[in-house]
Homo-oligomer: A and B are copies of this chain.
Amino acid sequence: MAETTEPGGTSDLEAILREAGLRITRQRRVILAILAEGGDHPDALALFRRASRQDATISLSTVYRTMKVLEEKGAIQRHTFEGGPARFEHADGRHHDHLIDLDSGAVIEFRSEKIEKLQEEIARELGYEIVSHRLELYGRRRK
């Protein structure tokens, strides 16, 4: 089996670091791998715990520092959903918004082309250009 670099894989995160002239350390590699598998939206502590299993020397500070640097490089996204601490996810291009299940805490992703368009329109009418936006729905399963 060939060594393939899947999109959204860990190697593109490493590439971002490399291109920014940043060093690829053991702890960064571990953190990047966790982010790369994706799927969920872990907070710093969850990331720290998972990373610790791979490399017991990792510190929470390093997790925070790495998140900051990756965010600045645009490699990850930071979300601060209501209530809790910041949560992170690999930014692999395709933008989406979130629906948070108030009972389970689950985060469901969605994307509405129409809403995206309408946002642009609204901003334009108000004389603005959108730099970023945040749309979060908080709800419960319908019985």
* Chain A positions near chain B (C-beta within 8 angstroms): 80, 82, 99, 101-102, 108, 110, 112, 114-115, 118-119, 122-124, 126-142
By the criterion CB–CB under 8 Å, are A131 and B142 in contact?
A: no
B residues less than 8 Å from A142 (CB atoms): 124, 127-129
By the criterion CB–CB under 8 Å, are A131 and B118 in contact?
A: no
State the copy count for this chain. 2
B residues less than 8 Å from A82 (CB atoms): 80, 134
Contact A134 B135, CB 8 Å, known A108-B126, A115-B118, A126-B110: yes
**Interface on chain A toward B: helix, strand, loop, or mixed SS?**
strand
By the criterion CB–CB under 8 Å, are A135 and B135 in contact?
A: yes
By the criterion CB–CB under 8 Å, are B135 and A139 in contact?
A: no
A5 to chain B, nearest CB (A): 32
A95 to chain B, nearest CB (A): 14
By the criterion CB–CB under 8 Å, are A128 and B115 in contact?
A: no
- Report the Cα distance A130→B108, complex, angstroms: 13
By the criterion CB–CB under 8 Å, are B124 and A128 in contact?
A: no
By the criterion CB–CB under 8 Å, are A136 and B133 in contact?
A: yes
By the criterion CB–CB under 8 Å, are B126 and A115 in contact?
A: no
